[in-house]
Chain A
């Protein structure tokens, strides 16, 4: 284990993986700053470029990019009150309020330092979880893995929207994803399913064009609709002053930083939650740290603890989210679902192999998260005063560049115009889902898990008949899935009773 840990570091420090990590950090740095395009979208856009990479290089590139998006997203959120990422919205409440009070530097210093602490704790959780998770994973058979896929889908479907109505929509999106995963030649009997008599669909729907369309097109449309520069006319000023004070704030509130990092890690591990939930839960916990009602009133008005909490949780969740993705093939978030697609593109199967045969690769992911965050935070501190200019890029300059990236990314997955048609169709689906208030992450999860779930279901039924349903872990996971579905309904019922 110790040998694999060191080997993981040495793998990342080789010149090629390290160069790809730096490239990924560079892209993630920009993506985080610009609200026009999200971290998950960029991850999807970058997938086609990993085909010819070695696994270590590919994960250094993808994780290097993804693990810094939330860090630089905080910068835009604090300076302009515009969330750089969906996962950096909570930090606006106190961070932007501090910026308006002339304490932007302090807020940024606190956000960056807490992000770094959070990322390190998340990476440590991932490293520590591997020896615990490994024996557990090795005891899991096809029935248990099928049920895990169902639990993951239940989590993301029930928690990605509010109330019973939202849950129905979440399950509809997840079910649609599972349905779309069936397109193509069936692996057991060789039947061509839902191929519309086209050769292109015999291989099934390629993940990259679907993801690129689903996430990038709605954001492009929104950028055109807004028709302004991203940051508007907000004043910038010098922001490096006070950054050191913000760093000191993190150490003054060190246990709060640790607790919020642990909240983020736990939410990351739980399939179906994710950064958007982690930040708000951490913010809620930070407000609970106020000792008096007067102190609590300060939150939302520029309390530095309201910056530290979400900042730490947002980055610690990445390490946590990798645990179920690597160990069980159950992605904890949309980004992890896309990353899971990267595993398959590279010919890696998440599960026991990642914890035995490919353990150094797994540890290289831990080191990538650590190194990428250290480099990014250092770069942010060096560039604090210049960063504001980047958020003032006009929308009309971004749109054609993003469109080019979207279409090339999609086309290169199979070098077929049909890929672009798929992107446009799923762009429309994604747009209408956003308009209708339907969550898109369950669809992605369903699409990613569909083939695995079908395979595990078929093996379970063929090998155990109906007896697989009586296996203890399957029953336990079934209870968890039912609990996950019923809990929000119970919560809504209890809220109604209280109001009545």
Chain B
């Protein structure tokens, strides 16, 4: 997984830098100087990483960065990762279709009920508290404008 992901990232960067470099060739020198200075070495580095993954013996490079948990079996971790991605994308869909005002309490309610298996009373109180914080802080205090969802505004017409 580790190496395959690294290879995929390297190939994506190779494609990106190649596209960037070729696009830059048509621009005036003021605009293409930096893309060429960055694009060409970036392609070479990505190629080196890809070759390293394909022909290298072992990885041996740990980043000084946040590490994902290893406590769960791989299949459980994979399933929960997909679940997290689904909630994230689902929340985005809710925001676009229903607007922040409805999507925020709906997400909190559904997450606590479906994912957290919380009781009705706690779920309702927690959802109300989060919604009150959201409304109080962003709407009343900061006066941020959140548009209506597409369902209420004729699919992006407003």
Judge: A and B partners, yes or no: yes
Judge whether A193 and B31 touch: CB under 8 Å: yes
Interface of A is mostly: helix
Judge whether A458 and B33 touch: CB under 8 Å: yes
Cβ–Cβ < 8 Å partners of A311 in chain B: none
Judge whether A397 and B138 touch: CB under 8 Å: no
Judge whether B63 and A161 touch: CB under 8 Å: yes
Cβ–Cβ < 8 Å partners of A237 in chain B: none
Judge whether B115 and A396 touch: CB under 8 Å: yes
Judge whether B108 and A441 touch: CB under 8 Å: no
Given known contacts A397-B112, A399-B115, A403-B107, A172 and B81 CB-to-CB distance under 8 angstroms? no
Stretch at the interface among A173-181, A301-309, A347-355, A357-365: A173-181
Given known contacts A189-B27, A404-B134, A439-B63, A225 and B34 CB-to-CB distance under 8 angstroms? no
Cβ–Cβ < 8 Å partners of A160 in chain B: 63-65
CA of A191 to CA of B20 in the docked complex: distance in angstroms?
A: 13
Judge whether A435 and B1 touch: CB under 8 Å: yes
Beta-carbon contacts under 8 Å, A216-238 to B: 217-222, 224-227
Cβ–Cβ < 8 Å partners of B120 in chain A: none
Which of B31, B66, B92, B146 gathers most chain A CB within 10 Å? Answer: B66
Which of A220, A226, A407, A457 gathers most chain B CB within 10 Å? Answer: A407
Judge whether B64 and A161 touch: CB under 8 Å: yes
Judge whether B64 and A438 touch: CB under 8 Å: no
Beta-carbon contacts under 8 Å, A250-296 to B: 276-277
Beta-carbon contacts under 8 Å, A1-52 to B: 38, 49
Given known contacts A400-B111, A437-B6, A179 and B61 CB-to-CB distance under 8 angstroms? no
Interface string of B5-18 (1 = CB under 8 A from A): 11011100100110
CA of A424 to CA of B42 in the docked complex: distance in angstroms?
A: 24
Stretch at the interface among A65-73, A163-171, A366-374: A163-171
CA of A404 to CA of B66 in the docked complex: distance in angstroms?
A: 22
Given known contacts A172-B49, A420-B92, A432-B5, A222 and B34 CB-to-CB distance under 8 angstroms? no
Judge whether B92 and A162 touch: CB under 8 Å: no
Contact of A436 among B6, B28, B130 (CB under 8 A): B6
A residues contacting B by CB (< 8 A) are 38, 49, 86, 159-163, 165-166, 168-172, 175-176, 178-179, 182, 186, 188-189, 191, 193-194, 217-222, 224-227, 276-277, 394, 396-397, 399-401, 403-404, 407-408, 411-412, 415, 417, 420-421, 424, 427, 432-441, 453-454, 457-458, 461
Question: Can you sample 27 A-B contacts with CB below 8 Å?
Answer: A165-B52, A165-B61, A168-B48, A169-B63, A172-B10, A172-B13, A175-B17, A175-B42, A176-B13, A179-B16, A179-B35, A179-B42, A182-B20, A193-B23, A193-B31, A194-B20, A225-B81, A397-B126, A399-B115, A407-B92, A412-B144, A417-B96, A434-B68, A439-B64, A454-B34, A458-B30, A458-B33
Add 8 more A-B contacts to A218-B66, A435-B2 (CB < 8 A): A162-B62, A166-B61, A172-B46, A188-B31, A218-B68, A404-B108, A436-B2, A457-B33
Nearest 8 Cβ contacts at the A-B interface: A396-B116, A166-B61, A224-B84, A188-B30, A175-B42, A165-B61, A436-B5, A436-B6
B residues contacting A by CB (< 8 A) are 1-2, 5-6, 8-10, 13, 16-17, 20, 23-24, 27-28, 30-31, 33-35, 37-39, 41-42, 45-46, 48-49, 52, 56, 59-69, 71-72, 76-77, 80-81, 83-85, 87-89, 91-92, 95-96, 100, 104, 107-108, 111-112, 115-116, 118, 126, 130, 134, 138, 142, 144-146
